[in-house]
Amino acid sequence: MFWWENEFLQVKAGRLFPAGRDAAAIAGGHGTPLFIYGSERIRANFRRLASGAGPSPGREIRICYALKANAHPGILSLLKNEGAWIDAVSPGEVQAAVRAGFPPGRILFTGTSCGTSDFEPLLRRPGLTINLDALEQFPLLKAARDRIAPGRRVRMSVRWNPGLGRGFNPKVITAGARSANGTPVKFGIEPKDVPGLFRRARAAGFDPVGIHQHLGSGWVRDDYPAVLEAVDRIVGLARRLEDEGFPLEFVDFGGGFGARYARSQKPFPVERYLRTLLRRLDEAGIKAPALAVEPGKYLVADAGLVLLRVEYLKRGFGNLFACVNAGTFNTVPRPAIYDTARHEIINATRIDGRPKRKMTIAGHLCETGDVFGIDVRIPEPRPGDLLAVLNAGAYARSMASTIRDRSRRKSSSEILSAAGRNPGGRFPAVRRGPGSLSGPPPVHQRNGMNLFVLFM
Protein backbone atom coordinates (compact mmCIF):
# COMPACT_ATOMS: atom_id res chain seq x y z
CA MET A 1 0.00 0.00 0.00
CA PHE A 2 1.29 3.46 -0.89
CA TRP A 3 1.54 6.03 1.89
CA TRP A 4 -0.95 8.32 0.13
CA GLU A 5 -3.77 5.79 -0.33
CA ASN A 6 -6.97 6.64 1.53
CA GLU A 7 -10.78 6.59 1.16
CA PHE A 8 -10.40 8.56 -2.05
CA LEU A 9 -7.31 7.10 -3.73
CA GLN A 10 -6.59 3.43 -4.39
CA VAL A 11 -4.34 1.46 -6.72
CA LYS A 12 -5.75 -1.44 -8.72
CA ALA A 13 -3.73 -3.48 -11.18
CA GLY A 14 -1.05 -0.79 -11.26
CA ARG A 15 -3.48 2.00 -12.17
CA LEU A 16 -4.88 4.90 -10.16
CA PHE A 17 -8.52 4.70 -9.08
CA PRO A 18 -9.90 7.87 -7.50
CA ALA A 19 -13.31 7.29 -5.90
CA GLY A 20 -13.37 3.73 -7.23
CA ARG A 21 -13.00 4.73 -10.88
CA ASP A 22 -10.14 4.33 -13.31
CA ALA A 23 -8.47 7.73 -13.67
CA ALA A 24 -7.84 7.09 -17.35
CA ALA A 25 -11.53 6.43 -17.96
CA ILE A 26 -12.56 9.62 -16.17
CA ALA A 27 -9.99 11.64 -18.13
CA GLY A 28 -11.17 10.01 -21.34
CA GLY A 29 -14.65 11.37 -20.72
CA HIS A 30 -13.69 14.85 -19.59
CA GLY A 31 -10.24 15.64 -20.92
CA THR A 32 -7.24 17.02 -19.09
CA PRO A 33 -6.14 18.89 -17.09
CA LEU A 34 -8.81 17.57 -14.75
CA PHE A 35 -9.29 18.13 -11.02
CA ILE A 36 -11.01 15.33 -9.12
CA TYR A 37 -12.15 15.74 -5.51
CA GLY A 38 -13.35 12.97 -3.21
CA SER A 39 -16.33 13.76 -1.03
CA GLU A 40 -15.85 10.67 1.15
CA ARG A 41 -12.33 11.74 2.08
CA ILE A 42 -13.45 15.29 2.90
CA ARG A 43 -16.22 13.93 5.08
CA ALA A 44 -13.81 11.55 6.85
CA ASN A 45 -11.30 14.35 7.47
CA PHE A 46 -14.01 16.57 8.96
CA ARG A 47 -15.39 13.86 11.22
CA ARG A 48 -11.93 12.86 12.43
CA LEU A 49 -11.23 16.47 13.37
CA ALA A 50 -14.66 16.96 14.97
CA SER A 51 -14.16 13.95 17.22
CA GLY A 52 -10.44 14.41 17.77
CA ALA A 53 -10.66 16.32 21.05
CA GLY A 54 -12.97 13.80 22.67
CA PRO A 55 -15.76 14.98 24.96
CA SER A 56 -15.83 18.74 25.57
CA PRO A 57 -18.65 19.40 28.05
CA GLY A 58 -19.56 23.07 28.21
CA ARG A 59 -17.31 24.04 25.30
CA GLU A 60 -18.39 24.03 21.65
CA ILE A 61 -15.69 23.28 19.09
CA ARG A 62 -16.26 25.30 15.92
CA ILE A 63 -14.57 23.97 12.79
CA CYS A 64 -14.39 27.01 10.53
CA TYR A 65 -13.48 25.89 7.03
CA ALA A 66 -10.90 28.18 5.40
CA LEU A 67 -12.88 28.76 2.23
CA LYS A 68 -9.86 30.18 0.41
CA ALA A 69 -8.50 26.61 0.20
CA ASN A 70 -11.20 25.49 -2.24
CA ALA A 71 -14.51 27.22 -3.00
CA HIS A 72 -16.09 24.41 -5.04
CA PRO A 73 -19.87 24.69 -4.35
CA GLY A 74 -20.21 20.96 -3.83
CA ILE A 75 -17.50 20.98 -1.18
CA LEU A 76 -19.14 23.93 0.59
CA SER A 77 -22.50 22.15 0.58
CA LEU A 78 -20.95 18.97 1.95
CA LEU A 79 -19.20 20.80 4.79
CA LYS A 80 -22.31 22.80 5.65
CA ASN A 81 -24.21 19.54 6.07
CA GLU A 82 -21.43 18.25 8.34
CA GLY A 83 -21.83 21.27 10.64
CA ALA A 84 -18.88 23.42 9.57
CA TRP A 85 -18.58 27.16 10.01
CA ILE A 86 -16.79 29.39 7.49
CA ASP A 87 -13.56 31.38 7.70
CA ALA A 88 -13.85 33.96 4.90
CA VAL A 89 -11.23 36.51 3.87
CA SER A 90 -13.09 38.54 1.22
CA PRO A 91 -16.64 39.74 0.56
CA GLY A 92 -16.70 37.38 -2.42
CA GLU A 93 -16.00 34.42 -0.17
CA VAL A 94 -18.79 35.53 2.15
CA GLN A 95 -21.10 35.63 -0.86
CA ALA A 96 -20.04 32.12 -1.90
CA ALA A 97 -20.67 30.79 1.60
CA VAL A 98 -24.13 32.35 1.80
CA ARG A 99 -24.99 30.98 -1.62
CA ALA A 100 -24.00 27.52 -0.40
CA GLY A 101 -26.47 27.85 2.47
CA PHE A 102 -24.32 29.07 5.36
CA PRO A 103 -26.20 31.60 7.49
CA PRO A 104 -24.23 34.79 8.23
CA GLY A 105 -24.17 33.82 11.89
CA ARG A 106 -21.86 30.92 11.00
CA ILE A 107 -19.36 33.05 9.06
CA LEU A 108 -16.27 34.81 10.43
CA PHE A 109 -14.78 37.42 8.10
CA THR A 110 -11.09 38.25 8.54
CA GLY A 111 -9.76 40.74 6.01
CA THR A 112 -6.50 42.59 5.63
CA SER A 113 -6.11 46.04 4.01
CA CYS A 114 -9.90 46.44 4.11
CA GLY A 115 -11.74 49.64 3.27
CA THR A 116 -15.33 50.74 3.57
CA SER A 117 -16.13 49.12 0.22
CA ASP A 118 -15.24 45.78 1.84
CA PHE A 119 -17.17 46.40 5.04
CA GLU A 120 -20.38 47.72 3.50
CA PRO A 121 -21.56 44.45 1.86
CA LEU A 122 -20.69 42.58 5.07
CA LEU A 123 -22.82 44.92 7.15
CA ARG A 124 -25.79 44.04 4.96
CA ARG A 125 -25.61 40.52 6.42
CA PRO A 126 -26.71 40.81 10.08
CA GLY A 127 -25.19 38.20 12.36
CA LEU A 128 -21.87 37.93 10.51
CA THR A 129 -18.79 38.47 12.70
CA ILE A 130 -16.16 40.92 11.40
CA ASN A 131 -12.69 40.10 12.67
CA LEU A 132 -10.51 43.25 12.67
CA ASP A 133 -6.92 42.83 11.52
CA ALA A 134 -5.72 46.39 12.30
CA LEU A 135 -6.51 49.23 14.68
CA GLU A 136 -6.85 51.42 11.63
CA GLN A 137 -9.76 49.33 10.35
CA PHE A 138 -12.03 50.25 13.25
CA PRO A 139 -12.86 53.85 12.22
CA LEU A 140 -13.53 52.60 8.67
CA LEU A 141 -15.83 49.87 9.97
CA LYS A 142 -17.61 52.34 12.26
CA ALA A 143 -18.13 54.82 9.42
CA ALA A 144 -19.56 52.07 7.23
CA ARG A 145 -21.80 50.83 10.08
CA ASP A 146 -23.11 54.34 10.78
CA ARG A 147 -23.99 54.72 7.10
CA ILE A 148 -25.39 51.24 6.37
CA ALA A 149 -26.88 50.19 9.71
CA PRO A 150 -26.83 53.08 12.19
CA GLY A 151 -27.26 51.94 15.75
CA ARG A 152 -26.86 48.22 15.03
CA ARG A 153 -24.69 46.32 17.51
CA VAL A 154 -22.41 44.66 14.98
CA ARG A 155 -20.57 41.54 16.04
CA MET A 156 -16.81 41.98 15.85
CA SER A 157 -13.70 40.25 17.05
CA VAL A 158 -9.99 41.05 17.03
CA ARG A 159 -7.15 39.29 15.27
CA TRP A 160 -4.11 39.89 17.41
CA ASN A 161 -0.49 39.13 16.56
CA PRO A 162 0.97 37.08 19.42
CA GLY A 163 4.55 37.99 18.44
CA LEU A 164 5.55 34.62 17.00
CA GLY A 165 4.62 32.76 13.85
CA ARG A 166 5.14 29.34 12.31
CA GLY A 167 4.87 28.00 8.75
CA PHE A 168 6.46 25.72 6.19
CA ASN A 169 7.72 28.69 4.15
CA PRO A 170 8.57 32.31 5.02
CA LYS A 171 5.78 33.51 2.70
CA VAL A 172 3.10 31.81 4.81
CA ILE A 173 4.25 32.88 8.28
CA THR A 174 1.49 35.24 9.39
CA ALA A 175 2.48 36.35 12.90
CA GLY A 176 5.51 37.85 14.61
CA ALA A 177 7.31 41.06 13.70
CA ARG A 178 9.03 39.66 10.60
CA SER A 179 8.92 36.42 8.70
CA ALA A 180 11.89 34.06 8.51
CA ASN A 181 13.19 35.83 5.39
CA GLY A 182 12.94 39.30 6.95
CA THR A 183 9.62 40.34 5.41
CA PRO A 184 7.58 42.49 7.84
CA VAL A 185 4.41 40.63 8.84
CA LYS A 186 1.34 42.73 7.96
CA PHE A 187 -1.21 40.73 9.95
CA GLY A 188 -2.77 41.29 13.33
CA ILE A 189 -2.87 43.84 16.14
CA GLU A 190 -0.10 44.24 18.69
CA PRO A 191 -0.88 42.80 22.13
CA LYS A 192 -0.70 46.17 23.89
CA ASP A 193 -3.47 47.59 21.67
CA VAL A 194 -6.09 44.86 22.00
CA PRO A 195 -7.78 45.81 25.31
CA GLY A 196 -8.08 49.44 24.23
CA LEU A 197 -9.72 48.41 20.96
CA PHE A 198 -12.23 46.28 22.85
CA ARG A 199 -13.10 49.29 25.02
CA ARG A 200 -13.47 51.60 21.98
CA ALA A 201 -15.67 49.06 20.21
CA ARG A 202 -18.00 48.60 23.15
CA ALA A 203 -18.27 52.34 23.69
CA ALA A 204 -19.20 52.78 20.00
CA GLY A 205 -22.02 50.26 20.19
CA PHE A 206 -20.28 47.17 18.79
CA ASP A 207 -20.34 43.72 20.37
CA PRO A 208 -16.73 42.48 20.73
CA VAL A 209 -17.36 38.74 20.95
CA GLY A 210 -14.02 37.02 20.35
CA ILE A 211 -10.28 36.99 19.84
CA HIS A 212 -8.34 35.30 17.08
CA GLN A 213 -4.81 34.42 16.00
CA HIS A 214 -3.26 32.71 13.01
CA LEU A 215 0.44 31.82 13.09
CA GLY A 216 0.97 30.50 9.57
CA SER A 217 0.45 27.46 7.39
CA GLY A 218 1.82 23.95 7.04
CA TRP A 219 2.78 22.97 10.58
CA VAL A 220 4.60 19.70 11.17
CA ARG A 221 5.43 17.86 14.38
CA ASP A 222 8.51 19.96 15.15
CA ASP A 223 6.34 23.09 15.24
CA TYR A 224 4.29 21.84 18.18
CA PRO A 225 6.27 23.53 21.03
CA ALA A 226 6.22 26.96 19.34
CA VAL A 227 2.51 26.62 18.58
CA LEU A 228 1.79 25.85 22.23
CA GLU A 229 3.70 28.98 23.27
CA ALA A 230 1.34 31.02 21.09
CA VAL A 231 -1.62 29.13 22.56
CA ASP A 232 -0.58 30.16 26.05
CA ARG A 233 -0.29 33.78 24.93
CA ILE A 234 -3.81 34.01 23.51
CA VAL A 235 -5.25 32.19 26.52
CA GLY A 236 -3.56 34.80 28.71
CA LEU A 237 -5.14 37.55 26.62
CA ALA A 238 -8.56 35.92 26.92
CA ARG A 239 -8.15 35.80 30.69
CA ARG A 240 -7.29 39.50 30.78
CA LEU A 241 -10.26 40.51 28.61
CA GLU A 242 -12.71 38.46 30.62
CA ASP A 243 -11.29 39.94 33.82
CA GLU A 244 -12.00 43.40 32.36
CA GLY A 245 -15.64 42.47 31.92
CA PHE A 246 -15.76 41.40 28.26
CA PRO A 247 -17.94 38.26 27.94
CA LEU A 248 -16.10 36.45 25.14
CA GLU A 249 -18.11 34.08 23.00
CA PHE A 250 -15.12 32.38 21.37
CA VAL A 251 -11.36 32.03 21.29
CA ASP A 252 -10.20 31.28 17.73
CA PHE A 253 -6.80 29.59 17.40
CA GLY A 254 -6.77 29.86 13.60
CA GLY A 255 -5.49 27.25 11.19
CA GLY A 256 -2.01 25.99 10.38
CA PHE A 257 -2.22 22.21 10.72
CA GLY A 258 -2.46 20.68 7.29
CA ALA A 259 -2.21 17.55 5.18
CA ARG A 260 0.72 15.22 4.71
CA TYR A 261 2.52 16.10 1.49
CA ALA A 262 5.42 13.62 1.60
CA ARG A 263 6.24 10.19 3.02
CA SER A 264 9.00 11.72 5.14
CA GLN A 265 6.80 14.46 6.63
CA LYS A 266 6.06 14.08 10.33
CA PRO A 267 2.43 15.18 10.72
CA PHE A 268 1.40 17.74 13.29
CA PRO A 269 -0.41 15.97 16.19
CA VAL A 270 -3.85 17.45 15.59
CA GLU A 271 -5.86 15.38 18.09
CA ARG A 272 -3.31 16.04 20.84
CA TYR A 273 -3.41 19.73 19.94
CA LEU A 274 -7.20 19.96 20.25
CA ARG A 275 -7.16 18.23 23.63
CA THR A 276 -4.47 20.65 24.78
CA LEU A 277 -6.50 23.67 23.65
CA LEU A 278 -9.45 22.51 25.74
CA ARG A 279 -7.25 21.82 28.75
CA ARG A 280 -5.50 25.19 28.57
CA LEU A 281 -8.82 27.04 28.41
CA ASP A 282 -10.19 25.04 31.33
CA GLU A 283 -7.07 25.51 33.45
CA ALA A 284 -7.17 29.28 32.88
CA GLY A 285 -10.84 29.44 33.84
CA ILE A 286 -11.86 30.90 30.48
CA LYS A 287 -15.64 31.23 30.31
CA ALA A 288 -15.94 31.65 26.52
CA PRO A 289 -18.31 28.84 25.48
CA ALA A 290 -16.69 28.19 22.10
CA LEU A 291 -13.26 27.22 20.80
CA ALA A 292 -12.61 27.72 17.08
CA VAL A 293 -10.05 26.37 14.61
CA GLU A 294 -9.76 27.16 10.89
CA PRO A 295 -8.61 24.16 8.83
CA GLY A 296 -8.28 24.35 5.07
CA LYS A 297 -5.62 21.95 3.80
CA TYR A 298 -6.43 19.46 6.56
CA LEU A 299 -9.95 18.99 5.22
CA VAL A 300 -9.52 19.09 1.45
CA ALA A 301 -5.87 18.86 0.30
CA ASP A 302 -5.53 15.07 0.25
CA ALA A 303 -9.05 14.74 -1.12
CA GLY A 304 -8.01 16.19 -4.47
CA LEU A 305 -5.73 15.56 -7.43
CA VAL A 306 -5.19 16.96 -10.88
CA LEU A 307 -4.61 14.75 -13.92
CA LEU A 308 -2.17 15.95 -16.58
CA ARG A 309 -1.40 14.41 -19.96
CA VAL A 310 2.21 13.84 -21.01
CA GLU A 311 2.81 15.36 -24.44
CA TYR A 312 6.39 14.19 -24.89
CA LEU A 313 9.69 13.55 -23.10
CA LYS A 314 12.57 15.94 -23.61
CA ARG A 315 16.27 15.43 -22.94
CA GLY A 316 18.79 18.23 -22.63
CA PHE A 317 22.11 18.78 -20.82
CA GLY A 318 21.63 15.57 -18.87
CA ASN A 319 18.11 16.49 -17.75
CA LEU A 320 15.00 14.49 -18.51
CA PHE A 321 11.66 16.34 -18.72
CA ALA A 322 8.11 15.04 -18.88
CA CYS A 323 6.33 17.87 -20.68
CA VAL A 324 2.64 18.08 -19.75
CA ASN A 325 -0.44 19.92 -21.01
CA ALA A 326 -0.83 22.36 -18.11
CA GLY A 327 1.08 25.05 -16.26
CA THR A 328 1.66 25.25 -12.54
CA PHE A 329 0.30 28.80 -12.27
CA ASN A 330 -2.94 27.72 -14.01
CA THR A 331 -3.52 24.55 -11.98
CA VAL A 332 -1.23 23.85 -8.98
CA PRO A 333 0.74 27.05 -8.38
CA ARG A 334 2.20 26.17 -4.96
CA PRO A 335 5.48 24.67 -6.29
CA ALA A 336 6.08 27.79 -8.39
CA ILE A 337 5.23 30.24 -5.60
CA TYR A 338 6.80 28.51 -2.58
CA ASP A 339 10.22 26.99 -3.16
CA THR A 340 9.69 24.51 -0.30
CA ALA A 341 6.31 23.23 -1.51
CA ARG A 342 6.24 19.61 -2.68
CA HIS A 343 3.47 17.52 -4.24
CA GLU A 344 3.65 13.77 -4.77
CA ILE A 345 3.46 13.04 -8.49
CA ILE A 346 2.66 9.58 -9.83
CA ASN A 347 2.23 7.95 -13.22
CA ALA A 348 -1.48 7.19 -12.94
CA THR A 349 -1.35 4.93 -15.99
CA ARG A 350 1.51 2.70 -14.78
CA ILE A 351 2.14 3.32 -11.08
CA ASP A 352 4.53 0.39 -10.70
CA GLY A 353 5.94 0.47 -14.23
CA ARG A 354 9.56 0.05 -15.22
CA PRO A 355 11.99 1.56 -15.77
CA LYS A 356 11.78 4.30 -13.16
CA ARG A 357 13.53 7.53 -14.09
CA LYS A 358 14.40 10.73 -12.29
CA MET A 359 12.76 13.55 -14.21
CA THR A 360 11.39 17.08 -14.00
CA ILE A 361 7.69 17.56 -14.66
CA ALA A 362 7.59 20.64 -16.91
CA GLY A 363 4.54 22.79 -17.54
CA HIS A 364 3.62 24.59 -20.73
CA LEU A 365 4.17 28.18 -19.54
CA CYS A 366 7.01 30.42 -20.62
CA GLU A 367 8.51 30.48 -17.10
CA THR A 368 11.62 28.65 -15.88
CA GLY A 369 9.87 28.07 -12.56
CA ASP A 370 6.92 26.39 -14.24
CA VAL A 371 7.72 22.90 -12.99
CA PHE A 372 5.44 20.66 -10.90
CA GLY A 373 8.34 18.65 -9.51
CA ILE A 374 12.12 18.49 -9.89
CA ASP A 375 14.00 15.17 -10.16
CA VAL A 376 10.86 13.17 -9.41
CA ARG A 377 11.46 9.43 -9.61
CA ILE A 378 8.52 7.77 -11.41
CA PRO A 379 7.95 5.08 -14.05
CA GLU A 380 9.07 6.65 -17.29
CA PRO A 381 5.91 7.93 -18.98
CA ARG A 382 5.04 7.55 -22.62
CA PRO A 383 3.28 10.27 -24.62
CA GLY A 384 -0.37 10.14 -23.67
CA ASP A 385 0.22 8.75 -20.18
CA LEU A 386 -1.51 10.49 -17.28
CA LEU A 387 0.39 11.99 -14.38
CA ALA A 388 -1.48 12.72 -11.16
CA VAL A 389 -0.41 15.59 -8.92
CA LEU A 390 -1.68 14.69 -5.46
CA ASN A 391 -2.81 16.95 -2.62
CA ALA A 392 -4.37 19.28 -5.18
CA GLY A 393 -7.58 19.72 -3.21
CA ALA A 394 -6.36 22.87 -1.46
CA TYR A 395 -4.73 26.06 -2.73
CA ALA A 396 -4.51 24.73 -6.28
CA ARG A 397 -7.53 25.63 -8.39
CA SER A 398 -8.37 28.41 -5.90
CA MET A 399 -4.97 30.07 -6.49
CA ALA A 400 -4.78 29.48 -10.22
CA SER A 401 -4.28 32.40 -12.60
CA THR A 402 -4.56 33.22 -16.30
CA ILE A 403 -0.84 33.95 -16.76
CA ARG A 404 0.44 33.78 -20.36
CA ASP A 405 -3.19 33.61 -21.49
CA ARG A 406 -3.27 29.97 -20.45
CA SER A 407 -6.65 30.74 -18.96
CA ARG A 408 -8.37 28.59 -16.39
CA ARG A 409 -11.38 28.85 -18.68
CA LYS A 410 -9.54 26.92 -21.33
CA SER A 411 -7.33 24.72 -19.26
CA SER A 412 -9.04 22.67 -16.56
CA SER A 413 -12.21 21.04 -15.28
CA GLU A 414 -13.32 19.88 -11.84
CA ILE A 415 -15.18 16.82 -10.57
CA LEU A 416 -16.39 16.18 -7.02
CA SER A 417 -16.87 12.46 -6.61
CA ALA A 418 -18.48 10.08 -4.16
CA ALA A 419 -17.12 6.55 -4.20
CA GLY A 420 -19.27 3.69 -5.36
CA ARG A 421 -22.13 5.73 -6.83
CA ASN A 422 -23.41 6.51 -10.30
CA PRO A 423 -22.05 3.43 -12.05
CA GLY A 424 -23.31 4.71 -15.38
CA GLY A 425 -20.64 7.38 -15.40
CA ARG A 426 -22.79 10.35 -16.45
CA PHE A 427 -21.93 13.46 -14.48
CA PRO A 428 -24.26 16.44 -13.92
CA ALA A 429 -22.52 19.81 -13.96
CA VAL A 430 -22.59 21.91 -10.79
CA ARG A 431 -21.09 25.24 -11.80
CA ARG A 432 -19.88 27.18 -14.81
CA GLY A 433 -17.01 29.48 -15.59
CA PRO A 434 -13.37 29.76 -14.54
CA GLY A 435 -13.82 29.03 -10.86
CA SER A 436 -16.17 31.97 -10.43
CA LEU A 437 -17.81 32.53 -7.06
CA SER A 438 -20.84 34.16 -8.70
CA GLY A 439 -23.69 33.01 -10.87
CA PRO A 440 -26.13 30.13 -10.38
CA PRO A 441 -24.91 26.56 -10.91
CA PRO A 442 -25.89 25.08 -14.26
CA VAL A 443 -27.22 21.56 -14.66
CA HIS A 444 -25.90 19.20 -17.32
CA GLN A 445 -23.99 21.99 -18.99
CA ARG A 446 -20.72 21.94 -20.84
CA ASN A 447 -20.11 25.39 -22.27
CA GLY A 448 -16.92 24.80 -24.23
CA MET A 449 -14.84 26.72 -21.68
CA ASN A 450 -14.97 24.63 -18.55
CA LEU A 451 -16.82 21.76 -16.97
CA PHE A 452 -17.72 21.48 -13.29
CA VAL A 453 -19.36 18.21 -12.41
CA LEU A 454 -20.53 16.29 -9.38
CA PHE A 455 -21.14 12.57 -9.62
CA MET A 456 -22.92 10.89 -6.75
Q: How are the residues of the chain apportioned to helix, strand and coil, as percentages rounded to the nearest 5?
A: 30, 25, 45
Q: Residue 405's pLDDT is what?
A: 73
Which H helix or E strand runs over 235?
Answer: helix 224-243
Q: Identify the pLDDT of residue 38.
A: 95
C-alpha–C-alpha distance, residues 408 and 413, integer Å: 9
CA distance 440 to 330: 24
All CATH 3.20.20.10 domain ranges in the chain, comma separated:
103-295
DSSP letter, residue 184:
B
* pLDDT tens digits in sequence order for the chain, 456 residues long: 899 999 999 999 999 999 999 999 999 999 999 999 999 999 999 999 999 998 888 999 999 999 999 999 999 999 999 999 999 999 999 999 999 999 999 999 999 999 999 999 999 999 999 999 999 999 999 999 999 999 999 999 999 999 999 999 999 999 999 999 999 999 999 999 999 999 999 999 999 999 999 999 999 999 999 999 999 999 999 999 999 999 999 999 999 998 999 999 999 999 999 999 999 999 999 999 999 999 999 999 999 999 999 999 999 999 999 999 999 999 999 999 999 999 999 999 999 999 999 999 999 999 999 999 999 999 999 999 999 999 999 999 999 988 877 655 445 788 887 654 443 344 433 333 344 333 333 222 232 223 334 333
What is the per-residue pLDDT for 370?
97
Question: What gap in Å lies between CA 128 and CA 197, rounded to an integer?
Answer: 19
Q: What is the DSSP string of 112-144?
A: SS--HHHHHHHHTSTTPEEEE--TTHHHHHHHH
Residue 404: per-residue pLDDT: 76
Burial class (CB in 10 A: 0-12, 13-18, 19+), 311: middle
Question: What pLDDT sits at residue 446?
Answer: 30
For residue 408, which amino acid is it? Answer: R
Write the DSSP assignment of 49-93 as a string of letters.
HHHTT---TT-EEEEEEEGGG---HHHHHHHHHHT-EEEE-SHHH
Architecture of domain 9-38+301-455: Beta Barrel (2.40)
- For residue 399, the Cα-to-chain-centroid distance in whole angstroms is 10
Q: Which superfamily does 103-295 belong to? A: Alanine racemase (3.20.20.10)
Q: What is the pTM of this model?
A: 0.92
| 366 is a catalytic site residue | yes
* Rounded (5°) CA angle 382-386-389: 125
Residue intervals in the chain for CATH 2.40.37.10: 9-38+301-455
C-alpha span between 219 and 360 (Å, rounded): 27
CA distances from 80 to 70, 99, 165, 176 (A): 14, 11, 30, 33
Instruction: Check: CB of residue 216 under 8 Å from CB of residue 188.
Output: no
